[in-house]
Amino acid sequence: MSNVDHDLRYQKREWRFERIGWTAMAIVVVAAVLGFLGPGILNSESIEDSASGVSIDYERRLHHSTCSDLRIRIPAERVGTDECRLWLSREYLDRVHMKLIIPESNRVHAGSDGHTFFFQPAAPNQPIELLFRIEPEKAGALKGQVRLNESAPIAIDQFVFP
């Protein structure tokens, strides 16, 4: 039999670092599965303005230069027969690249505080669902506002990872 030297103190320290490493890896995997780092339960946000009935679905955490969808639903009672005006704040539009808008707006008015998109309903008194496909241009906090016609603005709060 050979006599091997053991450094029990060193070995216990190494076991502790190993457990910390395994725990950190498990936390990252769970966070990714739940959507903290991308699409998933923890990343999806859905807000509805009680006054206007407008609802907005979006991802709270985005990745720089990766497309994401901003879905806006306008209820039938807010549509009527005339065109709807949807305003997006300049604060938001300055930080994203608008890749796609479905359905296309009839026209756009660019103002100093934001852009107003004009949409004609497909049928009178029918709800409208809008899709804005955006691509964040800068990492960091991404805040903005959405407003339907003359209603109060609805805040959007996102974060863009580098």
Q: What is the mean pLDDT of each run of 10 residues along the chain (162 residues)?
A: 69 90 90 72 85 91 91 85 87 95 92 92 84 94 92 93 88
Residue 20 resides in a domain: no
Residue 58 resides in a domain: yes
Residue 8 resides in a domain: no
CATH for 53: 2.60.40.1510
Domain count, the chain: 1
Residue 6 resides in a domain: no
Residue 25 resides in a domain: no
Nearby residues of 141 by Cβ (< 8 Å), 6 or more positions away = 157, 158, 159, 160
Q: Which letter does DSSP use for residue 95 in this model?
A: T
Distance CA 46, CA 54 (A): 11
Residue 152 resides in a domain: yes
User: By the 8 A CB rule, do 126 and 82 touch?
Assistant: no
> Nearest 5°: phi and psi at 8?
-60, -40
Distance CA 55, CA 71 (A): 8
Residue 26 resides in a domain: no
Tokens of 52: 């206007």
**pTM attached to this predicted model:** 0.78
Residue range(s) defining the domain that contains residue 109 = 44-161
Instruction: Give the count of alpha carbons within 13 A of 62, CB side only.
Output: 28
Tokens of 16: 């502790």
Residue 35 resides in a domain: no
In 106-161, DSSP assigns E strands to 107-110, 114-119, 128-136, 140-148, 154-161
pLDDT for position 76: 82
pLDDT for position 125: 77
